[in-house]
Structure 1
Amino acid sequence: MSPISDAMVNNIKAYSDLFRVENSLTGLVGVVIGAVVVNGIDFTLGDVMIVSFFGLSVMFFMFSWNAYNDITDIENDRLNRPDRPLPSGKISSDSAMIGLIIAMVFSIIFLLAGLWKLSSEGEGDSILSSGIIWAAAILLLILYEGVSGIKGLKHSGLIGNFCIAVAIGMDVLFGASGLGSPTDHRVLALAGMAVSFSLAREVIKDIEDIHGDFDRVTFPKKVGIENARSVAWVLTLLALVLLFTPFLVGIFPLHHILFVAPGGFLLMLVKSKLFLEEDRAAQYLIKRALQISMVGVIVSACLVG
């Protein structure tokens, strides 16, 4: 491979890390799940366009937000994650800001395209609910980060973690709103599941970053690392309960519980990682458990039709 090709590959990898492409794709999948759960596989071309536009809007918004997070947390990352693109010098702050702006522009374009498609089909209620959910998610993230010198909820411990988790759970609602069913009981069950997974993971991530988070009072700093690990395990158990409950109470077919069982198995492994103080491995297991469970729910929804 030529030096130019090597440089290009390294640059692509650096931006992939900046945008956290894998996590952002999970947001897109969350939108698709919300749509599939309420509609099965009976999609019109218009439905596909709406869900695609909304999913891409979420993905590019997450690109933008992840870049913003790295820009604002660069000093923390010099201690916690010196290998990240900004502290390592792989990407400059100015380049990251340009990437942030471009990603946000694409997010808004895809959002407007989805709303336009809803309008062309006379779905006024869906336009309203979709707009409200999108705006609410942005508001939560702004409250988390803070603006104009006002400290955000990321300085307030567990409530900040909950704020991020709820914003993530809204992906599912957003996907369902495009098809007019954001309050469907199946969608709400899935959103609750996503929130619980994400909350447990956010607490563990704060444990992992405790020594570098010098400018904020995170939950582990308030209660101590071991107490935070105990709470994280309780939240993981809650995620496990919320993963299986929709199948046990008939929201989804009981025998389809097998499709999410692998995700539940991964959640059970989290305790051992927390006990061994392997916090990064623990939060990675939760992320994988959520991704696998999302695939299981998609399979279940497609089979139900």
Structure 2
Amino acid sequence: MLSYLELMRPVNCLMAVLAVFIGEILVIRWNGSLFLEQALYFGLIAVFLIAGAGNAINDYKDFEADKINRPERPIPSGRIKRSSALIFSILLFVLGTVLAAFINWMAFGIAVINSLLLILYTYYFQDKMFVGNFIISYLVGSTFLFGNVVMGDYRLGFVLMFLAGLSNFSREIIKDLEDIEGDKQSFLKKITSKVGSIAERFRITPKGVKLKYRKRYALFISEFSLVLAVLFSPLPFLTGILGYSYMVVVGFADLIFMWCVWKMFTYKQKQDLAKISKNIKAGMFFGLLAFLAGALL
């Protein structure tokens, strides 16, 4: 059972749960909703299940690349069969969506749309240049909006959704660059039978398999997105959504993000990408803490 929990990537799921909780707390603080409302807990469980389902089906689809990039994961390591992972993912999608249906129609709508996007991303958009990164960033940011909707509002979550989306977009690009070697092998295996959407990212040259776009160009897009996240970070405070405590904590996130921008600008070797990705994730965690502090204090 622990392998199935690992397949869900529980840390990522818990970050999604925290984002929904922050969205819920904002509405509670602004509208005086009851903290013990059943919908609050249904929303937290639903997002955990749907996020886990998306991670599981992604591992089901990416098992070839994961043999190189992430051999320790449950499917490539042989601890879970691919067919079992697919069934488990479908079950999680159904349970999470049904649970959202008991909250309200807007929560159900977001749950259905996000579930479909997770599936479409896995099968069609994952290898499309920047489009897949944008979809994942929307999905990450939409957790704040979902938290608002669960508690019967939707106005406050858009600003937080925008900021979270910018930082995540930057990290998704870095993760793509980090996983290039495994994706190249997956591309070569596919091209012997059927060239899939991954061909939109790679081309064959006399020197081997190359990205269709320059790595420096991708890094520039990532840098630009992260700089925007820093520049717009005071927005929740300036619009009165979050309090002074938000500005204190978000400063740490901004410092980490700017350090990552500098590391991208001076990038020299692949090992740097893994460090940058981990540090952007750390900055995103501080961003979550800033949202939480601003909502509670």
Q: 1:144 Cα shift?
A: 1.8
Q: Does 1:36 align with 2:6?
A: no
Q: Does 1:210 align with 2:180?
A: yes
Q: Does 1:196 align with 2:166?
A: yes
Q: 1:192 Cα shift?
A: 0.3
Aligned equivalents of 2:40, 2:99: Cα separation in 1: 10
Question: CA 1:77–1:54 in structure 2 vs 1: closer, same or farther (change >3 Å)?
Answer: same
SS of 1:211 mapped into structure 2: helix
Q: Does 1:290 align with 2:267?
A: no
Q: Say which of 111, 122, 143 aligns to 1:145.
A: 122
Aligned equivalents of 1:110, 1:131: Cα separation in 2: 8
Aligned to 1:64: 53
CA contact (8 A) 2:57 2:119 kept: no
Unaligned runs of 5+ in 2: 188-197, 203-209
Aligned equivalents of 1:249, 1:57: Cα separation in 2: 30
Name the aligned partner's letter for residue 200 of structure 1: S
Aligned to 2:220: 230
Q: Does 1:266 align with 2:266?
A: no
Aligned to 1:118: none
Question: CA 1:109–1:130 in structure 2 vs 1: closer, same or farther (change >3 Å)?
Answer: closer
Aligned equivalents of 2:228, 2:118: Cα separation in 1: 24
Aligned equivalents of 1:229, 1:284: Cα separation in 2: 16
Q: Does 1:51 align with 2:45?
A: no
Give the TM-score of the pair, scaled to structure 1: 0.81
Name the aligned partner's letter for residue 16 of structure 2: G
Name the aligned partner's letter for residue 265 of structure 1: L
Name the aligned partner's letter for residue 182 of structure 1: Y
Aligned to 1:221: 211
Aligned equivalents of 2:110, 2:140: Cα separation in 1: 11
Q: Does 1:182 align with 2:154?
A: yes
- Give CA-to-partner distance per residue, 1:173-205, whole Å, 9 cap, x none: 111001221123xx2110101111111111111
CA contact (8 A) 2:97 2:108 kept: no
Q: 1:272 Cα shift?
A: 4.2
Aligned equivalents of 1:256, 1:159: Cα separation in 2: 31
SS of 1:269 mapped into structure 2: helix
Aligned equivalents of 1:177, 1:241: Cα separation in 2: 27
CA contact (8 A) 2:59 2:75 kept: yes
Aligned to 1:119: none
Q: 1:255 Cα shift?
A: 5.8
Q: 1:281 Cα shift?
A: 1.5
Aligned equivalents of 1:92, 1:112: Cα separation in 2: 31
- Give CA-to-partner distance per residue, 1:83-102, whole Å, 9 cap, x none: 22211223222332343244
Query: Which stretch shows the higher mean deviation, 217-226 or 64-73?
Result: 217-226
Give the TM-score of the pair, scaled to structure 2: 0.83
Number of equivalences: 272
Q: 1:105 Cα shift?
A: 4.1
CA contact (8 A) 1:157 1:222 kept: no
Aligned equivalents of 1:230, 1:74: Cα separation in 2: 29
Aligned equivalents of 2:36, 2:245: Cα separation in 1: 32
Q: 1:256 Cα shift?
A: 3.6
Name the aligned partner's letter for residue 81 of structure 2: S
Q: 1:229 Cα shift?
A: 1.5
Aligned to 1:121: none
Name the aligned partner's letter for residue 293 of structure 2: V
Aligned to 2:190: none
Aligned equivalents of 1:276, 1:244: Cα separation in 2: 32
Question: CA 1:21–1:222 in structure 2 vs 1: closer, same or farther (change >3 Å)?
Answer: same
Aligned to 1:136: 113
- Give CA-to-partner distance per residue, 1:125-170, whole Å, 9 cap, x none: xx23222222222232233233xxxxx1223211121011112211
